[in-house]
A and B are shown apart, each in its own frame.
Chain A
Amino acid sequence: MARFLKLRTPILTVALMALLLAVLSACASPQNTFDPKSDATDSILTIYILVTVVASVVGFAVLAAMVWLIIKFRAKPGVPAKQIHGNTKLEIAWTIAPILILLIIGIPTMYWIAGTAEDPAPNVLEVEATGHQWWFEFTYPGMGPDGGDLITANELVIPVGRDVRVTLHSDDVVHSFWVPQLVGKTDMIPGRTNVLQTFNAYEPGLYYGQCAEFCGTAHALMRFRVNVKTSADFSTWADAHNAGPAAPEPGTAAARGSLGFATCSGCHAISGTAAQGRIGPDLSLFGERSTIAAGILDNTDANLKAWIGDVRSIKPIPEGARFMPTFNDGTLDEGQIADIAAYLNSLTAE
């Protein structure tokens, strides 16, 4: 038994770890850190696996040693305990051994840190992200109309295969920007400007992000999506964003909604229209977004109407917090809410 444990433990551990890694990377979670989709998370995973294997080998080896010791040296009649007080050579050995093991993980760690300080590619896409209680705002400096800012919210749109560098701000409390499959997290701290590790997404798709630092009552519902598009689609999206929506066909719900949106325009902006409020999320190209309410509900007509009617039935907004008012308290009737929803979802890139 002892011989088996001694020799086979590392092999067994590695086999177990390989199995665990396979299971983990196959896990169907959209926030699985073992299923990276960018160069940044890929480089993290390499070290992650190394560290996991080292820690597991050490862990299983020590556990196995402990099990062996307590079986071997359980009390037996007539066998007294050996009165050993210590062994200097051994103790020095197991002071040095952890240092050597730590070097195995420490050196790659330092290399990785040095890598984060490297400059990104010259064609890097610069984005500014601002955390608000409880939603995300994204600004693309210089990409908006007339060389101004392009502003959107809760769905970060980026091109595939191009370096992206996100600068982080907060409007109120500490938040943390995290897209597990694309980039590790960095905090958004009021009064400070942080820069997220540069990342380069491998393939187009919709990725889940979430605020990772506790930021108050609705922290759990402060989420977002990253929409990775092909280069061409990204340009189409940005151009449509800047051009603004075509006037809706008169007499339709969307047309009525575009007028009704005046109620909302004090806080919300839609690029290319008179609505330029900057208190709440920008709603340009709203019909293109997959989710509403900061990444927590699918963008369906029913969800949107419920959200406009009473955000508090969906998000736990504490009393006194600065957030969207409730509209189904008589401020707007059901028809008006439906019109506004129809208008918002008519805002597409086509």
Chain B
Amino acid sequence: MAANTGILRRPLAPVGIWAWMTTVDHKRIAVLYGVTAFFFFLLGGMEALVMRVQLASAESTLVSAATFNAMFTMHGTTMVFMVVMPAGAAFFNFLVPLMIGARDVAFPRLNAFSYWLFLFGALFMNFSFFMNAFPDMGWFGYAPLTSNEFTISNATDYWVLGLLVMGVGTTAAGFNFVVTILNMRAPGMTLMRMPVFVWMTLIVAFLIIFAFPPLTIALAFLTFDRFFDTNFFVDIGAGSDPLLWQHLFWIFGHPEVYILILPAMGIVSDVLPTFTRKPLFGYSMVVFAGVVIAFLGFGVWAHHMFTTGLGPWANAAFSATTMAIAVPTGVKIFNWLATLYGGSITFKTPMLFALGFISMFMLGGLSGVMHAVTAVDSQQQDTYFIVAHFHYVLFGGAIFGINSGIYYWFPKITGKMLSERLGKVHFWLMLIGFNLTFMPMHILGVIGMPRRIYTYAEDMGFEFLNQIVSAGAFIIALSVIMFIINVVRSVRQGEPAGDNPWGASTLEWSISSPPHHYNFAIVPTVRSQYPLWDENANVILPPALPAHDEPVMPDPSYWPIVVAFSITMVAGGLIIWQGHAIAGLTVIASMGLLGMRAIYGWVLEPMEDEAHVSVHH
């Protein structure tokens, strides 16, 4: 009773803006993550296009150096933290409970809290654009360029605080998914019966839990350096060390690469069986290879630092570990290819993107092995060869994998099919545009074009290849427009999907599209890795329940968004504090109090509203 009185009356309406802002339903949170990630994908893509127009001609003066530097800084930060990670989170959120036969995640309100912190942190960082302080010191933020001495504007403040805010949400999500996957599986859903995507989510969640603390520490140090004149990275004479930042950043940064790519590997591992009509080849090898990659991922960070003078022993050790990580990665690729063997392959759009993922990711992996060789890295480091490499991994890998997942699960999420024809146009344009953009970058790196340069002289011989690259970037943009048309068309007039349009094998396809808010009318009992394909283990579920028999689900709550808002505004108060101490402290204090109030509200609020519970019982 108490929970539904007062200023913040608990919203129980199932539709409308308040329903979305207070939702704790994992499927709605997934849609929020997905739509937000796509918005930032467009933003980050536009930042890339600005760079590509600038670099299309030698000595171009279209944008200033400062603008160009801001573009590559925010393109990198956006694509990593605001696009690929939340896109992964969208899939985790939508799919994990459905795939393991659960009705929601373990902590539904914490789940909403994670999303709102991500959104507010991302908006906070991008707000700097309107304050004429767009971050321009690189997404890697190397000390001491980030110190007050070298960044005079507030740009770095927005960047460091925005990342801290987003990091809190991400870490919470990591714990949420570990608990969900370990504790909320349906009867019979043993670990080794879980879809590979769930396995990859579990691994990513652990990676987040262990990789984000070093980043958070580095960001906290930097915050203290910038706001309170501490000396972690700044005054070398007084004992600080700029290289400390690089170690902390890459101890986070390399596992982060696997946080970005493992969800795509999971998606592809579940898409391939559906479109080959056969089980994944070597399921346990694919799973264990993912685990090995995650472990090794913590032991390779210094390959980002081969040129920092760590010495021959460190370089030899990290060169060896980096090469070692190619082994489990290779195992995965071979297992995916072996899955094709003996199959009955149909080339629907999700399958095309999955095959695109395998081939492009494989090329990116091979160029990655090239700069595990320190000799070669001393020429490739900080050149366009590296840019080419990680785009093959993160675009050719992660983005192609995510697109495969979008085309595959869109019917489940919306209940409508996407157009196959537009999907194929999207795929081929993207594949061609992608290779036109990033393949010539290898050669640009070989002929000595450094990264992060806003201009190059005519006599460098870089112009022709850069023009091809820029043309490719616009073909990618065109392919994204095809995707938007496809989605809009499908939402308006798409064909109804039915429960299982692809004839797939996993639990999410056993229920309606879109699923009921309670997912499973009756929690299924699982007897197989491929429950819907296995005649002996067939899951027969009632399609829906009469209203009075519906399971009671957690009710919406205001508190997650309020706590997330107050945390973000405390960060904002810090920035105000630099200019106006009293105003800043007022904001920090009032938002701190609001946050405290909201945490109490959250703690004392029952999961299900009493009024709501009484209706059903």
Contact = CB atoms under 8 A, between A and B. Distances in A.
Interface of A: 24, 27-34, 41, 43-44, 47-48, 51-52, 55-56, 58-59, 62-63, 65-66, 69-70, 73-76, 79-87, 90-91, 94-95, 97-99, 102, 105-106, 109-110, 112-114, 116-117, 133, 168, 172-174, 176, 178, 180, 184-187, 189-192, 194-195, 197, 208, 210-221, 296, 316, 318-320
Interface size class of B (residues with CB under 8 A): 35 or more
B449 A31 contact: yes
B345 A91 contact: no
B342 interface: yes
Contacts of A70: 340, 345, 347, 355
Nearest to B378: A184
Given A95-B331, A212-B382, A217-B136, A51 B144 contact: no
B242 A189 contact: yes
Contact of B379 (A44, A55, A97, A110): A44
Interface of B: 64-66, 69, 136-138, 142-145, 150, 152, 236-237, 240-243, 276-279, 281-285, 307-309, 312, 315-316, 319-320, 323-324, 326-327, 330-331, 333-335, 337-338, 340-347, 355, 358-359, 362-363, 366-367, 369-370, 372-379, 381-383, 443, 446-457, 459-462
A185 B383 CA distance: 11
24 contacts: A33-B446, A51-B370, A81-B342, A85-B283, A86-B282, A94-B331, A102-B327, A109-B319, A109-B372, A113-B316, A174-B142, A184-B307, A186-B308, A187-B307, A187-B309, A194-B309, A208-B460, A212-B381, A215-B145, A216-B145, A219-B69, A220-B456, A316-B65, A319-B152
A82 B137 CA distance: 54
B337 A69 contact: yes
A189 B276 CA distance: 53
Contact of A33 (B237, B345, B448): B448
Given A187-B309, A192-B243, A172 B370 contact: no
A109 B446 contact: no
A51 to B, nearest CB: 5
B330 A24 contact: no
Contacts of A194: 308-309
A23 to B, nearest CB: 9
Contact of A190 (B69, B242, B283, B330): B242
Contacts, number: 283
Nearest to A93: B334
Nearest to A41: B379
A55 B376 contact: no
A67 B366 CA distance: 18
B362 A62 contact: yes
Contacts of A44: 375-376, 378-379
Nearest to B377: A184
A67 to B, nearest CB: 9
A-B pairs, top 9 by smallest CB distance, nearest first, are A31-B448, A184-B378, A191-B236, A82-B342, A220-B453, A194-B309, A316-B65, A29-B461, A86-B282
